[in-house]
Amino acid sequence: MKLMYDMPQADKQAYDAAVTPDEKLMYCIPFNILEDRFVSGWMAFTTQKIYKILDGSILAVWNIHQMSDFKTEVMYGSCGFYADIDGHTLLLCQFVSGRNLPRYTVICKACEILNETNDTTPVEDSTPERFCPKCNRPYISNSTVCPNCLDKKDTYKKLFAMTKGLRLMMCIPFIVYLFATLFQTINPILQKHAIDNYMLKAGTGEHINKVGFLLVVCTIILIDFCHRSLAVIQSRASAVAGHKFILIMRTVLYEKIVSLSQSSLQRKPIGDVMQRVTTDIAAIQTFIVGQIPQLFGSAATLIISVIIVLFVKPVAVFFIVIPIPLFLYLMRLVWKLLWRRNHRQWLVCTQLSYFLQDVLNGIRVVKSYGQEENTIEKHEKTLWRASDQVESNLKFTNTVMPLLSFLLQLGNYLVMFYGYTLLFNQDGMTMGELAQITTYTSLIYSPLTAFLALPDTLTQFLTRTSKIFEILEEENEIADIDLPIDIRIEGNIHVKNITFGYDAYNPVLKDINVDIKAGEMIGIVGHSGCGKSTLINLIMRLYDVNRGEIIIDDVNIKHISQNALRSQMGVVLQETLLFSGTIRDNICYAMPTATDEEVIAAAKIANAHDFILKLPEGYNTIVGEKGYSLSGGERQRIAIARAIIHNPRILILDEATAALDTETEKLIQDALNRISEGRTTLAIAHRLSTLRNADKLLVIDKGRVAEFGTHAELLAQKGIYYKLVMAQRRMATSLNKKKDTEPSKEQSNKVSDPLPSKA
Ligand SMILES: Nc1ncnc2c1ncn2[C@@H]1O[C@H](COP(=O)(O)OP(=O)(O)OP(=O)(O)O)[C@@H](O)[C@H]1O
Ligand SMILES: [Mg+2]
């Protein structure tokens, strides 16, 4: 997001005159409301002060270091930027909400960092802009594509570059279309010939030559057959070329999306990425292989028809042209109205599908709160709105379009009127010529609507294409270096003074130092949100650290190829995701060549074998999207089997046993202990009993390493870990007491003692 704008000359001069030499400009962002009127002012933030500038003069200056508690507040239709000075909260400036609110939110954080650390490096924010900086219009949602300002030439060039290897194939439909058009425009000439020379004697209606007439009719049929055959060849050639082109585009796009870093993928809504891969590409395909050759053919038909009419009866062209300007003007108006109406219809239909998606995803919540009737009512309301809009749009189109085509038909009537006048007066017009001219008039009029829609169609096409190029050109934030190293990981991990924030200015982990030896099991504990999962994300290099380095076996992970790094890591995550497919496929996901025996052995170690055998089709049971048909614990056991079969050098368990009951957890814990032998294991767990075999425990608190040592050492410190252990011990004791008073409960379900046994 842009935090440094260029001020206009007058404002810049005022700023230059006020600023002292030891100040450095860090940020400059606009404000646009002053005392209830719209203005165009600037807030300039230097290393020491804030300058409020409007129309070439400085309205106010504040010393940042005397201010605190920077904040933004959303008011009715506008927002305010506030800070505390001398115990009072002061409104520094106001601005229209939406465009600049995220900017001021980052600035609040930046001012606080400046005050706390005196660090004068400007913060950078990766949040994408939502409005085009050139024209101020909003970007197409979830993209940085502005249909108004996009570089059309550049987009065409990129698109042309993508057609490499297919150009000849893509030219064929055009060439065939040209010939098809020629055949189409020859027919009216033959019709004229048949009427005038063989069917009727001009002016008398007397038949002259039946054989000749039949021959001409046969030629007409033959030419029509050729025209239609060429049209078939053209559409088949288009389908082949289009399909090949789209295949390439989809493959390249998919490869790019999969290779994008976790952080950039997280910024994109899944629905939007899917839309680009499916709908946008399909629309591009339709345009390239369907609409472009058609427009080309229509243009050829129009030009050839006008030329022929000019040769036959030049004055007729005048009558043909008369209704065209009015038609084009009205059609353009209707088009605009239709576009707005269709947009409204699209919005309301999208709302309907979002609503359905929401309800179907959360149907368990809907049912458990007894909200079925409520959702039916809401659905009905949205459905009615959608149906009203669709109905109204249909009525509008079905009324206006016939009226417009009647207007165009008037041109045809004028030509006929002109033709009949000449015919009756025997003034140089034959019956055949009249039939020929009216046929050409229809051929001239038919592509007009398509040409009129061309600017909109082109803009839509270019916008969709730009959205795809936006992804294709996105720089990969986590890329391999030029010659990455493929090492065999032993498992020594050295986390050296790392600081990381999903937004660099808002660190989640600060100055983390940890030394882990190969083969050690490290338990990571801490309150929810303290940064445990973030730390393992960094070790897996799903994100790059902002400062410091992570070293595995003496090599910075940035120098190890991502493939080598991740193929030697096994993870069981907090959220277990199973892909659509059989249970067997899911277990051997990272090792597709695994034998049945290996799959079963892994499932047995993960204590999943027994429940899998009870399923209707055992290992061949299909698990749906996210494995919904299985329980949380069952899914987690499959994920553990997946990690086991992968045989990783570094095993990462992020709440891997959280969804298991105490009894199953004990069984799995034994399995995990077995598989963690001889390999470095990082295990995150809230339930401390899970970490009873950890060699060392790493306690993270507020993004920093609070404690690191063995269980005994940490207990002796009587710090955070000690408190956590005591709290869980108290809870376990009280729960077990409660269970002991209920005789029906089985002894085996007792909550385990959180105290790890290995110290
Ligand atoms: N992708 C993300 N983008 C922005 N912020 C994030 C992202 N993931 C996590 N955070 C934030 O980073 C902080 C640490 O999150 P993290 O997931 O590492 O916590 P945790 O210690 O694993 O918590 P828990 O025990 O609940 O799993 C949280 O404040 C969280 O909101
Ligand atoms: Mg977590």
Residues 272 and 164 placed together within one structural domain of the fold: yes
Residues 22 and 68 placed together within one structural domain of the fold: yes
Query: Among the atoms of ligand 1, which is closest to the Cα of residue 703?
Result: 14
Q: How far apart are the first and last CA of the chain?
A: 50
- 99: domain range? 9-117
> Confidence band (pLDDT; 50, 70, 90) for 758?
very low
Q: Count of domains in the chain? A: 4
* CATH code, domain carrying 271: 1.20.1560.10
Residues 297 and 319 placed together within one structural domain of the fold: no
How many alpha carbons lie under 13 Å from residue 400 in its C-beta half-sphere? 16
Residues 165 and 254 placed together within one structural domain of the fold: yes
* CATH code, domain carrying 525: 3.40.50.300
Within a domain: residue 576?
no
How far, in Å, is the centroid of ligand 2 from the Cα of 257?
Answer: 25
**Pocket lining: 533 vs ligand 1, CB cutoff 6 Å:** yes
- Residues that place a CB less than 5 A from ion ligand 2: 533
Lowest mean pLDDT of 81-90, 195-204, 606-615, 682-691, name the range. 195-204
Cα 651 from Cα 519, distance rounded (Å): 10
Percent of the chain with pLDDT over 90: 25
Sheet harboring 88-96: ordered strands across? 57-63, 49-54, 37-46, 25-34, 88-96, 78-85, 67-74
Q: Provide the residue count of the chain.
A: 759
- What is the per-residue pLDDT across 636-662, written as a single tens digit (0 to 9) for each? 889 889 988 888 899 998 887 776 777
User: What angle in degrees, to the nearest 10, is found between the helix axes of 292-312 and 431-445?
Assistant: 150
pLDDT surpasses 60 at 605: yes
The C-alpha R_g of the chain, in whole angstroms, comes to 37
Q: Which amino acid is residue 108, in one-letter code? A: C
Mean local confidence (pLDDT), 573-599: 87
Domain end call among 411, 428, 445: 428
Residues 169 and 308 placed together within one structural domain of the fold: yes
Mean local confidence (pLDDT), 491-512: 90
Residues 307 and 322 placed together within one structural domain of the fold: no
How far, in Å, is the centroid of ligand 2 from the Cα of 684?
Answer: 8
Of 112, 137, 139, the C-alpha closest to 128 is: 139
Query: Among the atoms of ligand 1, which is closest to the Cα of residue 262?
Result: 1
When the pLDDT of each residue in the chain is averaged and rounded to a whole number, the result is 84
Per-residue 3-state assignment (H helix, E strand, C coil) for 550-618: EEECCEEHHHECHHHHHHCEEEECCCCCCCCEEHHHHHCCCCCCCCHHHHHHHHHHCCCHHHHHHCCCH
Cα 412 from Cα 389, distance rounded (Å): 35
**Pocket lining: 502 vs ligand 1, CB cutoff 6 Å:** yes
How far, in Å, is the centroid of ligand 1 from the Cα of 412?
Answer: 70
Distances (CA, A) of 342 to 420, 435, 463: 43, 39, 17
Q: Whose CA is nearest to atom 6 of ligand 1?
A: 502
pLDDT surpasses 80 at 612: yes
How far, in Å, is the centroid of ligand 2 from the Cα of 490?
Answer: 26
More confident position, 541 or 296: 541
**Pocket lining: 266 vs ligand 1, CB cutoff 6 Å:** yes
Could you identify the residue written with the tokens 């060439």? Answer: 175
Maximum separation of any 2 CA atoms in the chain, in Å: 122
pLDDT surpasses 50 at 746: no
Domain end call among 294, 313, 332: 313
* CATH code, domain carrying 70: 2.30.29.30
Residues 321 and 371 placed together within one structural domain of the fold: yes
**Pocket lining: 534 vs ligand 1, CB cutoff 6 Å:** yes
Residues 172 and 302 placed together within one structural domain of the fold: yes
Residue 67: the pLDDT is 92
Residues 156 and 255 placed together within one structural domain of the fold: yes
pLDDT surpasses 80 at 737: no
Ligand nearest the Cα of residue 526 is 1
482 in helix, strand or coil? coil
Residues 318 and 291 placed together within one structural domain of the fold: no
More confident position, 200 or 556: 556
Residues 169 and 305 placed together within one structural domain of the fold: yes
How far, in Å, is the centroid of ligand 1 from the Cα of 631?
Answer: 25
- What is the per-residue pLDDT across 668-683, written as a single tens digit (0 to 9) for each? 777 777 777 788 999 9
Q: Which amino acid is residue 606, in one-letter code? A: A
How many alpha carbons lie under 13 Å from residue 282 in its C-beta half-sphere? 5
Q: Which long-range contacts (CB under 8 A, 24 or more apart) does 667-673 make?
A: 667/607, 668/606, 668/607, 668/637, 668/640, 669/693, 671/605, 671/606, 671/607, 671/640, 671/644, 672/640
- What is the per-residue pLDDT across 290-320, written as a single tens digit (0 to 9) for each? 788 888 888 888 888 889 888 888 888 888 8
Within a domain: residue 674?
no
